[in-house]
Structure 1
């Protein structure tokens, strides 16, 4: 499948968002395939292969990030835009009834194998960052599988890719193009962007001078040694509590989860102040709203806990969250230098953090958030342990927000020695208890902390009995 873009070849330094992902990809090495973004697009009956290839070609020609390779020849990493070229399009037939008497396989088996085959391997340095395949059923294209390197997209822009692909498959014209990554790199070198970066780095430097050490210092771990544990919660009770607290206190559902996470971690660690790293998409202008490429950076949510009303608590959460977003545009390498210098003066290495990554905001502008049907039974809370994902760089604790609909779904990966006492499952139960209790009673942080004390003691005793 060939493409011929409107401009190029082009070369530029990496954008700040690209550099952030570049560092994680280098950290993961062969496991970088875990970061690949996957989209499965059901195809309308009658959609032929020519229509699929035409839509994919237009997509590649529109967005330079989808035909960009990244390299480092010793002078720092760069992005190189390829104006024209080709990517392979795999076409696979399903295996149902391929021979007389052959066992009839479930509809999803072939799709699952195809997705795994395309999505698992990390992208090679000389490979364009897109893989595509079509699964045919009864001789007709049924699903299009698109795998894109995280170096080429973040979650928000993958949603833009999905939206535009559907538009192109329908024969319609997508919205006008936004800023391209090489243009973003030029902007980030401008005096205005550098001034914004200096202010952001100063904000971080001030914050980490006296932030409690527990939120900054990494715990030792070795890949493959079982140091990381992971659990997931799926809860209708959380869904109700988050929606009620967001509406009552005029904050976003994401801010409610951030507030609950901050409170739960402080109670777990016995601290009165927290520093959470929020992974955010810095899409603050019309030029970047439909930007296809990684714009994700870290925002530092610093929040002291006080014995105050719930209304006052959420007012401070909202203010602190907005302040953190205002200081979230910078060269990520420069940021780690700033944090490293500030913590070195305090006598330790700042290389371990608590992250929150809200994946639910990644929807095309104007689209409604995905929600369960109104008649979906509430059902009980489900908490289960999961195999830990690839080692998250620089994280003692990593909370993913997967769904903020009628049921809230969260997962936590943490160092087994970080949550004291207990497990990631125990933490998620505590988080649910804190937010549902706050929604039901209106209790503020001080009241919740006092009510939580016997709960934590009981969990500690249970943990001691299991280990004795």
Structure 2
């Protein structure tokens, strides 16, 4: 439960000058362009796709050490020093700066609920949109108590990072806090930012990969129905068009691992199979198609890049029926190529789709486990897994997950549904945002509960 602070302590602004070893201008990457176009379509509510990072700092850091680590992070990762510009032709370029200044907010929470102050700061930083052409894509706020930083609140623009970049940021921040040299952290990495990646994308190997990916996606879209949930109904004037629901599932992480072990597959495949089964049932059909977010960190040279490298692959499954034991092998076979063919130039794909038969690309799936990143001092300990983190005991019914609802902005880019799997303490959160003209709230709830049952090995 969130804490509430009745009086927000005064914030002091500190300017952190930073430098970087390289600079330059060039075309935006495929990932930068794709996310910039998506954010432009959501304006002025594009802040809803800001990327959160930070949290409790243990055992506490001096302000000087925290600011020095922030300065070092700006040096290590080019994307944090990169601005994006739109050309008159409607394309995008990137500008990598070699120096600048970042304003960091400091709030002393002595005598106040520190967590409540941090949560209020998080809501404010995350609730502000970035101007990619003018704003550094990184905001930092530090909450202190007793002279030490206890919470770090950080928000990043999605034009600079995707969720799979957070583990690398966390690892580098931890190293910097421990005294690592920023230059040595950069050394030996194949690419240090999106300008390097843009150069890579002009090479023969990347262009071959792009062509193969677009060919595969076009084939899957040719088999995808025009409407997975039927034609949209008129939006109701009595309530919001979109609703969001989060089902917290105690012990689901362990149960999924047990199901995967029993079936000889991965937890990612089990969760994706459960999602396909539940979504197809909710649409009253046997087939289904998801736009599946793919990290693309397996592409040679991209493992350590902090940039928006992830893109959507297209998963089409002609038969989503049957128990999880029968469905999982089919999903694994289909998903292997979906993951393989997801690094491409989306602008070129969009051009190829002009005049093609309609295909429903409005249902999204994103397995975001592993994104959570806690900022920690050098002596911090992650501790033991929380209660409920193991597999379900044989013969013992799993505890029913708790469902919470919220109302997001109606600007959702025309999606029918967006289904996310997110880490939670001793649990997994299944998060669903959906268009209620196509999925009523009771259908949304049944989709989530059906997915949980399937992932646990049931029906």
Structure 1 position 85 matched with structure 2 position 93: no
| 1:105-144 pair list within 5 angstroms | 105-124=112-131, 125-144=133-152
Distance 2:117 2:72 in 1: 27
Distance 2:151 2:352 in 1: 47
**Larger deviation, residues 354-363 vs 147-156:** 354-363
Q: CA deviation at 1:379?
A: 4.4
**Larger deviation, residues 374-383 vs 62-71:** 374-383
| 1:387 paired residue among 404, 407, 416 | 407
The change in CA–CA distance for 1:132 and 1:240 in structure 2 (over 3 A counts) is closer
Structure 1 position 213 matched with structure 2 position 226: yes
Structure 1 position 171 matched with structure 2 position 186: no
Distance 2:218 2:445 in 1: 34
Structure 1 position 402 matched with structure 2 position 412: no
Structure 1 position 253 matched with structure 2 position 267: yes
Q: CA deviation at 1:45?
A: 5.4
Distance 1:61 1:421 in 2: 47
TM-score by structure 2 length? Answer: 0.83
Q: CA deviation at 1:2?
A: 0.9
Distance 2:382 2:287 in 1: 32
Superposed CA RMSD in Å reads 3.0
Distance 1:240 1:410 in 2: 15
**Larger deviation, residues 332-341 vs 154-163:** 332-341
Q: CA deviation at 1:371?
A: 8.0
Secondary structure at the aligned position of 2:196 is classed as helix
Structure 1 position 62 matched with structure 2 position 76: yes
Larger RCO (CA under 8 A, 6+ residues apart): 2
Distance 2:57 2:320 in 1: 54
Q: Conserved in 2, the CA contact under 8 Å of 1:37 and 1:158?
A: no
Q: Conserved in 1, the CA contact under 8 Å of 2:49 and 2:158?
A: yes
Q: Conserved in 1, the CA contact under 8 Å of 2:273 and 2:324?
A: no
TM-score by structure 1 length? Answer: 0.81
| 1:416 paired residue among 416, 423, 436 | 436
Q: Which digits, 9 at most, give the CA deviation of each residue in 1:143-168, with x for residues without a partner?
A: 33222111111111122112211211
| 1:94 paired residue among 109, 121, 138 | 109
Match of 2:87 in 1: 73
Q: Which digits, 9 at most, give the CA deviation of each residue in 1:336-368, with x for residues without a partner?
A: 33344322xxxx4x464210011104379xxx9
**Larger deviation, residues 146-155 vs 355-364:** 355-364
Question: Structure 2 stretches of 5 or more lacking a match?
Answer: 1-15, 374-380, 391-397
Q: Conserved in 2, the CA contact under 8 Å of 1:278 and 1:298?
A: yes
Q: Which digits, 9 at most, give the CA deviation of each residue in 1:400-426, with x for residues without a partner?
A: 111288522101111113237943112
Secondary structure at the aligned position of 2:121 is classed as helix
Q: Conserved in 2, the CA contact under 8 Å of 1:268 and 1:421?
A: no
Distance 1:371 1:359 in 2: 21
Q: Conserved in 1, the CA contact under 8 Å of 2:236 and 2:437?
A: no
Distance 1:361 1:16 in 2: 24
**Larger deviation, residues 148-157 vs 264-273:** 264-273
| 1:16 paired residue among 30, 41, 47 | 30
The change in CA–CA distance for 1:146 and 1:221 in structure 2 (over 3 A counts) is farther
Question: Structure 1 stretches of 5 or more lacking a match?
Answer: 97-104, 441-447, 449-468
Q: Conserved in 1, the CA contact under 8 Å of 2:251 and 2:388?
A: no
The structure whose residues are more often helix, as a share, is 1
Q: CA deviation at 1:79?
A: 0.6
The change in CA–CA distance for 1:284 and 1:389 in structure 2 (over 3 A counts) is farther
Structure 1 position 356 matched with structure 2 position 365: yes
Distance 1:253 1:405 in 2: 17
